[in-house]
Amino acid sequence: LSGISEEMVEPVGNHYVVARPVYSEKLFDEEHEKLHRYHKTFRDHLKLYFRVKKTALGLFPVASWLPVYRFKEWILSDIVSGINTGLVAVLQGLAFALLVNVPPGYGLYAGFFPLLVYFIFGTSRHISVGPFPVLSLMVGGAVVRLIPDDFTVNGTLANTSTINEERVIVAASVTFLAGILQVGVCLRFGFIVIYLSQSLISGFTTAAAVHVVVSQLKFMFQLTVPGFNTPLETNVADLVTSLIVLLIVFVVKEMNDRYKEKLPTPIPIEFLLVTTVLAALISYFAKFEEKFNVAIVGKLEEGFQGPAAPDMSVFQRCIGDGISIAIVGFAVGFSVAKVYSIKHDYPLDGNQELIAYGLSNIVGGSFKGFASSTALSRSGVQESTGGKSQAIWVVTFLATLLLGLDIGLAVAVAFQLLTVVIRSQM
């Protein structure tokens, strides 16, 4: 039977003649060598387990630190910090939605969903993910370009409700696109952050802050800003409220800087932001909307809207915006996270951060939010503006201030790469 594969079967009448070669034991063993099957040992299974565990912990960093969380030591301070950060996030979300040119309520979505995603996938323990003014301004630029104030539908001027709905879709789609780009490059290009130095980030964000301040002036003065000859007519109540809040924030920040060596802990400006809540209550009971025509946020929708697919046509028209938002969002967030990781001595994974920010934007965009990152503190900006790379800061600041966020960033990156090439040749 061993040689059945080489049998010769020939019919002879009503009989069959079967012929096959005759094997010796040696010849049979040579032609039909036994295949030895490898049986995995306990050590092999153990290696596979640790390999899978390492991959899972790398993709889900929360699984590595959550089991060793010091509940009794950290829970109280984390609750206090969470309340403070949450209060700031709510106010910033409502405010930055104005930069995106969408209804304020959608800023809450941008501050909620990305934070949950980063909690699972992020590697930094100290940053707070949510709306960032620079990114909000960049998303807002794309929104206004695609859906201007004179947007028409079938040749008819669209009403405010329709314009807001279309702008929300554009903002969410651009955010979704930025998230896809961030996740798409995570496997190979996480190292890109090394070409975005602290001086470049500082110069960029400083110039972008100027754009943010200018963009907020129309809300403080209630200006339409269609041209340059509009007379300065402002809403006194809005102006006074804005100036009071700015004054309080400025005084507290200066006190923290001047008396930082004497104060056991900085004065928490987050608590003083309760002034904003008090101002809202005063506005409500004093009927500022009726008496002074003060613009208010209005009633917010309860709960969350269901996820929606992005508009693919926006992808084609906003690919440049998506690339800029993806790069700036990751660079700013990673830079801040790196400062804290060095200070508190724990590792930070650039590729995993790209995944975390990308998924945050994908999920946030799906729920009609807009691009998220994290904010740079003033001390971090001041620290990063010194040193030998001052020229990079100046070029970045001027390029971004004069040419805009997108082109300014491209010019800054090109200039920094040029300086690297020149130094390597010297």
pLDDT at 386: 34
Lowest mean per-residue pLDDT among 81-85, 123-127, 346-350, 356-360:
81-85
Higher model confidence: residue 193 or residue 318? 318
CA distance 426 to 411: 23
Task: Tell me the two tokens of residue 126.
Answer: 């100290």
**104 CB contacts (<8 Å, ≥6 apart)?**
93, 94, 95, 97, 98, 297, 300
Please, is 84 exposed, middle or buried when counting C-beta atoms within 10 Å of its C-beta (0-12, 13-18, 19+)?
Answer: middle
- Asked if 336 contacts 353 with a C-beta cutoff of 8 angstroms, the reply is no
Q: How far is CA 388 from the centre of its chain?
A: 29
- Asked if 176 contacts 372 with a C-beta cutoff of 8 angstroms, the reply is no
Torsion 408-410-412-418 (CA) sign: negative
CA distance 320 to 181: 11
Highest averaged pLDDT of the listed ranges 31-35, 39-43, 137-141, 304-308 = 137-141
Which residue's structure tokens are 């309080």?
A: 248
Higher model confidence: residue 375 or residue 344? 344
Higher model confidence: residue 218 or residue 336? 336
Average pLDDT for the chain: 77
> Backbone phi, then psi, for 152, in 5-degree steps?
-120, 150
pLDDT digits (tens, 9 = 90+) for 262-300: 776 666 665 555 666 777 787 788 888 788 777 777 777
Overall average pLDDT of the 223-249 stretch: 65
pLDDT bucket at 384, cuts 50 / 70 / 90:
very low
Global pTM value: 0.71
pLDDT at 175: 95
CA distance 399 to 117: 34
CA distance 346 to 341: 5
pLDDT bucket at 378, cuts 50 / 70 / 90:
very low
Task: Tell me the two tokens of residue 261.
Answer: 């060596």
Strands 156-157 and 152-153: antiparallel
Overall average pLDDT of the 102-111 stretch: 89
pLDDT at 169: 94
Higher model confidence: residue 71 or residue 193? 71
pLDDT at 35: 67
Higher model confidence: residue 426 or residue 237? 237
Helix axes 198-221, 133-146, angle to 10 degrees: 60
Highest averaged pLDDT of the listed ranges 136-140, 204-208, 235-239, 361-365 = 361-365
CA distance 262 to 245: 25
Which residue's structure tokens are 């969903």?
A: 113
Overall average pLDDT of the 209-236 stretch: 61
